């Protein structure tokens, strides 16, 4: 693992996968402050053959650029391609996909429902249709290169990598064997022949056969045996393995598995059309074909049953109620204290560089062990959680910050009382998050509740109250309730001028807002001054 950022930009944080062609790392783009996936490709060193280095560097970047031209939601976008100065490490920087590998869906005891398998295959066919138009041939399509995202979108990974490492031009692999995975390799690949889009269709047939039967197409014990089977042996028809598979679907799979490319469907569009009768219709139940889908994984039929559906409503996490033992003050172990200090320092530097997403993760890495050691409502743990929520708010991630502030407000209310300073502050921050999410009515109600508490325990002209009153006035303006906004902002302006003078920045800002209100832009004419 490189200790320095790649190209002074991409940090590698943790390994996500270890595969035949390379290792995948979770990384950060320090320039754009976003998580990325970084694939470190395994590669025989070019340092011993410098005359190949320049040629390879050009091929590497060219293939990455071609892959980046595939514009489809099912293809993680390629952001960058880097061949480091040692000529030994190749990095592809890509969109980080949060999904579950298709391998998790394959169970010999419980093959997928027909609709699920068809939905996966149809989405893969759609992705391939966009790739083949570029043209890009995948060359290594297999379940481990396919993810299903949380909304059911199928993501096809590693486009272009097989092409980057192919042996016919650069002779880069030591063994000279074909690039691909033997369980899904088309006969022409095994023979080292010309690769065409129909090569990907053969691999799709292998994948669909496996989804419907729960087992690999061929199962010879060694690579040579698998290669022989793909070239010479007929596949077992699906209905012999699973009688309820529709005959038309069995025919499609057998065509996809044709030994000669010409025996397979003409293109991915034809495959998709053949799959249409097996796809669920909008509004259908998830298991309309009678099968029971696997649990704990996203449903690939969702895109067909609920096309263009909005995001699912998010549930605020239930507040964790502590046991009496948790409420007792606990000493912070020395190592944990040092970890917390280091995390705060690191997060502080990241915030200064406006790398808010990464700062959130840095704080999160120490919050979990601290909560386990000290309890979820320990003072130090709550302070860290409040810092993380504040960073999320600062970075504009209102959706994640809102439930965290709500939960924190409940925790502080239990520990120190509902009118305590931290409880009030977290309620106000949660309201600001609601405003940022467009929940203006709820935000106004919550801010007014907090303001009443502040007025009861402090002054209406305190710094906290002034801030809340200004927030309320601005939200009323946003709703077009200018008369109500004026009623809030005029006395606020007088208070701020009295405390800080007319030249105060907030006083000037409120004066400008009142001037806009007096223009009467929401009414038939200017308001009387």
- CA-nearest of 40, 33, 49, 46 to 16 is 40
At residue 236, the pLDDT reads 96
Question: How would you classify the pairing of strands 90-95 and 146-149?
Answer: unpaired
- Which residues are CB-neighbours of 461 under 8 A, at least 6 positions away? 495, 498, 499
User: CB of 115 within 8 A of CB of 137?
Assistant: no
- CA-nearest of 28, 36, 35 to 5 is 28
Q: Which of 29, 80, 140, 299 is catalytic?
A: 140
Three-state SS string over 319-369 comes to CCCCCHHHHCCCCCCHHHHHHHHHHHHHHHHHHHCCCHHHHHHHHHHHHHH
Residue 281 to residues 71, 278, 304, 509, Cα–Cα distance (Å):
26, 9, 6, 55
3-state SS assignment for residue 91? strand
Q: Say whether the peptide bond before residue 464 is cis (omega within 30 degrees of 0).
A: no
pLDDT, mean of residues 276-282? 92
| 175 has pLDDT over 70 | no
Q: Computed from CA positions of residues 127, 131, 137, 140, in that sequence, does the dihedral angle turn out positive or negative?
A: negative
Which residue intervals of 48-166 are DSSP H helices? 50-68, 114-133, 161-164
At residue 324, the pLDDT reads 39
Q: 415-474 pLDDT, tens per residue?
A: 989 899 999 999 999 999 998 888 888 999 999 999 999 998 888 889 999 999 999 999
Q: What is the mean pLDDT of the chain?
A: 84
At residue 161, the pLDDT reads 67
Rg (Cα) of the chain, in Å, rounded?
A: 30
40, 41, 42, 44 alpha-carbon torsion, rounded to 10°:
-120
Residue 514 to residues 280, 474, 493, 510, Cα–Cα distance (Å):
56, 11, 9, 6
Q: 180 or 459, which is more confident? A: 459
All structural domains of the chain = 10-95 (3.30.200.20), 99-305 (1.10.510.10), 323-375 (no CATH)
Q: 83-101 pLDDT, tens per residue?
A: 777 666 778 888 898 889 9
Q: What confidence tier does 143 reach under pLDDT thresholds 50, 70, 90? A: very high
pLDDT, mean of residues 190-219? 93
pLDDT, mean of residues 168-196? 66
Q: 9-50 pLDDT, tens per residue?
A: 999 988 887 765 568 889 999 998 899 999 887 654 554 566
- Which residue is it, tokens 């710094």? 463
| 294 has pLDDT over 90 | no
At residue 322, the pLDDT reads 43
pLDDT, mean of residues 379-392? 95
Residue 141 to residues 19, 74, 136, 179, 328, Cα–Cα distance (Å):
14, 14, 12, 11, 56
Q: 313-355 pLDDT, tens per residue?
A: 555 444 444 443 344 445 667 888 899 999 999 999 999 888 8
CA 267 to CA 14: how far, in whole Å?
39
> Annotated catalytic, 339?
no
């Amino acid at each position: 693992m490189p200790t320095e950022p790649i190209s002074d930009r991409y940090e590698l944080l943790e390994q996500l996968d270890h595969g035949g062609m390379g290792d995948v790392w979770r990384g950060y783009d320090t320039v754009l402050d976003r998580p990325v996936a970084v694939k470190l490709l395994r590669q025989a060193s070019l340092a011993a053959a410098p005359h190949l280095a320049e040629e390879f560097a050009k091929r590497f970047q060219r293939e990455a650029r071609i892959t980046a031209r595939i514009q489809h939601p099912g293809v993680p976008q390629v952001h960058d391609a880097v061949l480091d100065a040692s000529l030994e490490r190749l990095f592809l920087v890509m969109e980080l996909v949060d999904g579950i590998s298709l391998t998790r869906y394959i169970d010999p005891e419980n093959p997928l429902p027909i609709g699920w398998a068809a939905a996966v295959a149809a989405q893969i066919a759609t992705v391939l249709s966009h790739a083949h138009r570029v043209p890009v041939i995948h060359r290594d399509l297999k379940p481990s290169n396919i993810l299903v995202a949380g909304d059911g979108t199928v993501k096809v990974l590693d486009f272009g990598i097989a092409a980057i490492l192919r042996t016919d031009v650069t002779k880069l692999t030591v063994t000279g064997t074909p690039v691909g995975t033997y369980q899904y390799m088309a006969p022409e690949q095994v023979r080292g022949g010309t690769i065409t889009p129909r090569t990907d269709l053969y691999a799709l047939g292998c994948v669909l056969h496996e989804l419907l039967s729960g087992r690999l197409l061929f199962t010879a014990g060694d690579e040579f045996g698998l290669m022989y089977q793909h070239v010479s042996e007929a596949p077992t028809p699906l209905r012999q393995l699973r009688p309820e598979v529709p005959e038309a679907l069995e025919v499609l799979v057998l065509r996809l598995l044709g030994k000669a490319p010409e025996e397979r469907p003409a293109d991915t569009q034809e495959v998709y059309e053949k799959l249409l009768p097996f796809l669920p219709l909008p509004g259908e139940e998830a298991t309309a074909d009678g099968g029971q889908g696997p649990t704990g994984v996203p449903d690939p039929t969702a895109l067909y049953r609920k096309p263009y559906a909005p995001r699912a409503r998010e549930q605020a996490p239930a507040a964790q109620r502590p046991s009496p033992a948790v409420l007792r003050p606990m000493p912070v172990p020395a190592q944990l204290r040092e970890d917390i200090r280091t995390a705060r320092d690191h997060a502080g530097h990241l915030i200064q560089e406006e790398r808010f997403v990464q700062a959130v993760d840095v704080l999160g890495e120490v919050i979990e062990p601290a909560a386990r050691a000290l309890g979820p409502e320990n003072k130090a743990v709550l302070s860290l959680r409040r810092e993380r929520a504040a960073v999320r708010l600062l970075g504009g991630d209102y959706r994640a910050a809102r439930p965290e502030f709500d939960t924190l407000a409940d925790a502080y209310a239990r520990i120190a009382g509902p009118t305590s300073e931290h409880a009030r502050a977290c309620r106000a921050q949660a309201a600001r998050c609601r405003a940022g999410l467009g929940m203006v009515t709820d935000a106004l109600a919550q801010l007014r509740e907090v303001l009443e508490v502040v007025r009861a325990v402090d002054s209406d002209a305190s710094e906290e109250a002034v801030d809340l009153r200004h927030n309320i006035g601005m939200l009323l303006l946003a709703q077009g309730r200018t008369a109500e906004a004026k009623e809030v902002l005029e006395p606020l302006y007088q208070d701020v001028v009295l405390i800080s003078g007319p030249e105060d920045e907030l006083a000037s800002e409120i004066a400008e807002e009142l001037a806009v209100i007096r223009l009467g832009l929401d009414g038939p004419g200017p308001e009387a001054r």
